Amino acid sequence: MKKGLLRFALTLMLPVGIQAATLEAVPVDTYRPLKAAEAESLGEGFEAAWLARLGEALGSDISLLDAPEKGQLRFGKLGSGAAYYSSEIGALAASKAGPADWAGLAGKPFCVTTGSPHAELIAARFGGVARIYSSAAQALIGLKLGECQAVVGERVLLQQIAELPEWRRYDRLLPALEYPRLTLRVTTADAALQQRIEQIVASPEGQDALAEVTQHWIDEVAFQAYVLADTLDCH
Tens of pLDDT, residue by residue over 136-193, are 999 999 999 999 999 999 999 999 999 999 999 999 999 988 788 999 999 999 999 9
% of the chain at pLDDT higher than 70:
89
* pLDDT at 137 (0 to 100): 97
- How many whole angstroms separate alpha carbon 206 and alpha carbon 89? 24
pLDDT higher than 70, residue 70: yes
**What's the average model confidence in pLDDT over 8-37?**
70
Cα distances from 146 to residues 109, 140, 149, in angstroms, run 10, 10, 7
Q: Which fold has domain 89-173?
A: D-Maltodextrin-Binding Protein; domain 2 (3.40.190)
% of the chain at pLDDT higher than 90:
81
Ranges of each domain in the chain = 23-86+181-223, 89-173
Closest-CA residue to 77 (of 182, 165, 223): 182
Q: Which fold has domain 23-86+181-223?
A: D-Maltodextrin-Binding Protein; domain 2 (3.40.190)
pLDDT higher than 60, residue 5: no
Split at pLDDT 50, 70, 90, the class of 26 is: very high
Does this chain's domain 23-86+181-223 share its CATH topology with 89-173?
yes
- How many whole angstroms separate alpha carbon 183 and alpha carbon 4? 28
pLDDT higher than 50, residue 119: yes
Among 3-12, 97-106, 114-123, 174-183, which stretch is predicted with the lowest mean pLDDT? Answer: 3-12
* pLDDT at 114 (0 to 100): 95
* pLDDT at 69 (0 to 100): 67
Split at pLDDT 50, 70, 90, the class of 68 is: low
Split at pLDDT 50, 70, 90, the class of 233 is: low
**What's the average model confidence in pLDDT over 59-66?**
90
pLDDT higher than 80, residue 106: yes
